[in-house]
Amino acid sequence: MSQPCATSKCERTSRAPCDCCKQNLCLEHLYEHNSLLVAQLNPLTDEINAISDRFNRLNIHETVHDCREKLEEWRLDCHQKIDCFFEQKCQELDRLIAAKIDEEREKILHIKTKLVKLTREQEATRQDIDTLTSSIRNLGKAMNKIEQERFQVNIRPLSVDDTIIQFKEIYVHEFDPSTLSSVYKTIVYPKGSYRALATNNQSLLIHQVPNLCLLDTELTIVKQVLWLYEPIRDICWSTILDRFIVVCKDNIFLVNEKTMSIDSVSTVEKRSWSSCTCFSTQLFLSTNAWGASIMEITLCPSIAIIKEWKSPRTCTMNECIDDIVYHNETLAVVIRNKVEQTVRMELRCCKTLNCLWSLLLDVIYDVNLAFRCCSLDLHGWLVADHNTKHLLHITTDGKMKQTIIYKEIPYRITLFSSNMLAIATENCINFHQM
DSSP string, 51-102: HHHHHHH--HHHHSHHHHHHHHHHHHHHHHHHHHHHHHHHHHHHHHHHHHHH
pLDDT range class, residue 224, cuts 50, 70, 90 = very high
Mean pLDDT of all residues in 338-355: 95
Higher pLDDT, 418 or 323: 323
In the chain, the amino acid numbered 320 is: C
DSSP of 364-381, one letter per residue?
A: ---SSS--EEEE-GGG-E
Paired sense of beta strands 252-256 and 243-248, if any: antiparallel
| Total-model pTM | 0.69
Which pLDDT does position 333 carry in this prediction?
97
Residue 170 has pLDDT above 70, yes or no: no
User: Whole-number mean pLDDT of the chain?
Assistant: 88
List the one residue out of 365, 372, 413, 406 whose CA is nearest residue 389: 406
Mean pLDDT is highest, among 145-154, 204-213, 371-380, for: 204-213
pLDDT range class, residue 171, cuts 50, 70, 90 = low
Which pLDDT does position 197 carry in this prediction?
95
Which pLDDT does position 276 carry in this prediction?
97
Beta pairing partners, 422: 414, 431
Mean pLDDT of all residues in 198-214: 94
Mean pLDDT of all residues in 72-88: 84
Which pLDDT does position 279 carry in this prediction?
86
Residue 229 has pLDDT above 90, yes or no: yes
Residue 81 has pLDDT above 70, yes or no: yes
pLDDT range class, residue 64, cuts 50, 70, 90 = confident
Percent of the chain with pLDDT over 90: 48
Which pLDDT does position 337 carry in this prediction?
96
pLDDT range class, residue 228, cuts 50, 70, 90 = very high
pLDDT range class, residue 233, cuts 50, 70, 90 = very high
Alpha-carbon span 102 to 110, nearest angstrom: 12
Which pLDDT does position 316 carry in this prediction?
96
Q: Does domain 177-433 have CATH number 2.120.10.30?
A: yes
Which pLDDT does position 394 carry in this prediction?
95
Domain ranges of the chain: 16-58, 63-146, 177-433
Which pLDDT does position 157 carry in this prediction?
83
Which pLDDT does position 14 carry in this prediction?
79
Mean pLDDT is highest, among 4-18, 154-168, 277-291, for: 277-291
Contact criterion met (CB below 8 Å) for 331 and 347 = yes
